[in-house]
Structure 1
């Protein structure tokens, strides 16, 4: 199945330009070839529908990653400007985390494996040439397949990192997951995604919503100007507490790379110890 995002003002993802040698007609999909089914969501860029294309999902001959949602092609003729991506039936990680059955579906090691999925996807994006900074990394922008594999999606705010830093003054995202320097409108780099990952890791470990009870403006004040961070429960292991704290360092240069985060999480998954002590979430 495919995921179709359609709107008359939609902007195609910037990562489509990674291989300029590809002929654009090879990526072109005719609207008439899509069998549009039910609507599965909506956002600021348009609505999302489930669809079939030639009865199945075609494999693209591009470099891709198992933890990044696969781009299939695009409808570039008006009035049906659309992006066509693979369909992941379990929906967003946010919805899965905050569902009533999350505690039954997501045991401790499954949650840690999901965090590893996210880190692998971002490590891939950050190591492209030029690197891609997501800038809106949050659990609603992570999709989950039938096997509970997590994939990074929604590159609406993504930018190529041409220099050391990129301006964050002209875009907006979701304050609960955003780095303090980004919220202050300061120049930022890929380490802003690392901060956001720390919030996602906190969500997976606590099964709670970040900054619950605070409005967006209050979150901006707390994170960007009061140097506050989410409270890590005492029942979370010291190893994971240290990882989250390092992701949330106020100085972006002190935050780890996703390459090191991947190594850290792999090491933790090989450990026989519990990551969350009994009696916690």
Structure 2
């Protein structure tokens, strides 16, 4: 309707002077000249002399002027029509673009806010403002009741400053509650940083914050519950990765890459996670991966990221950050490469060796990953011989690039993302067509 209204207004504005000009111009030029000499086109002295000498020449001049007037009128009408059509076409194209863009934005917002909307629809225990950058607090007593007074039997995992508990709120809605002891300034800073960032960041592959609570020196953050725990638990826990097929592992890598691309390329200012690791990649009931734990994340697009206090987890920290304190988005790419190695090899990022020594998965794997004859031999035994060797070589090559010692040699996470999409089946969010049924 808006487009039709704009076209109608434009058409009327353009047509008004045209109609007035046509009425004047369509009258006989000779009659107009006789009735109003001042309004007629000027005639050169040479033409006037010839007209005075011979009446026949005068008539010819008048016919000539009349023909010129008709030609000019026709030309003007054609130009005006073309301009009008071009304007209408441009407005139509702009309308189509605006409609598609608005629809895309609405779809993204709907997808991003789905978890929060479901939460709002099922629970009345908290007042969450469904707007970017705004999430309100929950009464501590509700969390205490939902976790059975923070019973050990409800612990889902442990972090640097506390534990994560499973809780049931109203209507048996299950959530995860992170309990943090914030007696130190560092812990308080991480709590504030995470609440601030997650209340603004909404993405299908980033954990959704549902609220927070403060009780004395203890802080609580409430998240959506991820039923399959962390990637670390799935890979290195009791099952040793038995539930993760090759394609499922590539899907988890793709989901994580999408989360990082959003942080690096679509957030303004850019966000560097700074603590990407398998324990911070959580899996829902369908093994969809979501990046969590943003306490150490840095959102600093314009300022120098050098000299930031060193933080992170041994085995995932990029060498330039560890040695020189230089932090860039390539630091996250390095950590992603380590996670990719974990998915391929089923090994921890750092393993203990006797006597009292440690070995990095990067140091151990690099010489083997560059030898095609060795790559199939070092794959996690759980998934050995279950993948196309070409795909395995490609993933190995991506991992090698990500963990290069020199940051400039590492790819952007966008390039990593595009290299993984063709390796993931369409059913899992990629573009690969799997012909064998049930293999996914």
Task: Determine the C-alpha separation between the residues in 2 that align with 1:164 and 1:218.
Answer: 38
Determine whether 1:129 maps to 2:265. Answer: no
Residue equivalent to 1:253: 408
Task: Determine the C-alpha separation between the residues in 2 that align with 1:29 and 1:144.
Answer: 25
Greater shift in the superposed pair: 250-259 or 159-168: 159-168
Task: Determine the C-alpha separation between the residues in 2 that align with 1:164 and 1:230.
Answer: 36
Secondary structure in structure 2 of the residue aligned to 1:81: strand
Aligned length: 248
Secondary structure in structure 2 of the residue aligned to 1:209: coil
Q: Which of residues 166, 171, 174 in structure 1 aligns to 2:310?
A: 171
Task: Determine the C-alpha separation between the residues in 1 that align with 2:328 and 2:199.
Answer: 30
Residue equivalent to 1:151: 290
Following superposition, the deviation at residue 81 of structure 1 comes to 2.1
**Aligned-residue CA RMSD (Å):** 3.2
Question: Is contact 1:165–1:187 with CA below 8 Å preserved after alignment?
Answer: no
Classify 1:151/1:230 alpha carbon distance in 2 versus 1 (closer, same or farther; 3 Å).
same
Residue equivalent to 2:167: 51
Question: Is contact 1:125–1:132 with CA below 8 Å preserved after alignment?
Answer: yes
Task: Determine the C-alpha separation between the residues in 1 that align with 2:241 and 2:212.
Answer: 38
Determine whether 1:33 maps to 2:142. Answer: yes
Classify 1:97/1:107 alpha carbon distance in 2 versus 1 (closer, same or farther; 3 Å).
same
Task: Determine the C-alpha separation between the residues in 2 that align with 1:112 and 1:205.
Answer: 9
Between structure 1 and structure 2, the one with the greater Rg is 2
Task: Determine the C-alpha separation between the residues in 2 that align with 1:137 and 1:242.
Answer: 20
Question: What are structure 2's unaligned runs of at least 5 residues?
Answer: 1-114, 117-130, 149-153, 176-197, 380-391, 425-430, 435-440
Following superposition, the deviation at residue 135 of structure 1 comes to 0.7
Residue equivalent to 1:242: 397
- When normalised by structure 1's length, the TM-score is 0.77
Classify 1:198/1:164 alpha carbon distance in 2 versus 1 (closer, same or farther; 3 Å).
farther
Classify 1:116/1:77 alpha carbon distance in 2 versus 1 (closer, same or farther; 3 Å).
same
Classify 1:246/1:107 alpha carbon distance in 2 versus 1 (closer, same or farther; 3 Å).
same
Task: Determine the C-alpha separation between the residues in 1 that align with 2:275 and 2:401.
Answer: 19
Q: Which of residues 178, 182, 187 in structure 1 aligns to 2:326?
A: 187
Residue equivalent to 1:69: 207
Matches within 5 A, 1:77-226: 77-126=215-264, 127-163=266-302, 165-167=304-306, 169-213=308-352
Ranges of 4+ aligned residues in structure 1 off by more than 4 Å: 60-63, 217-220, 270-273
Classify 1:200/1:63 alpha carbon distance in 2 versus 1 (closer, same or farther; 3 Å).
closer
Q: Using CA pairs under 8 Å that are at least 6 residues apart, name the structure with larger relative contact order, 1 or 2.
A: 1
Task: Determine the C-alpha separation between the residues in 1 that align with 2:304 and 2:332.
Answer: 13
Which structure shows the higher helix fraction?
A: 2
Question: Is contact 2:203–2:259 with CA below 8 Å preserved after alignment?
Answer: yes
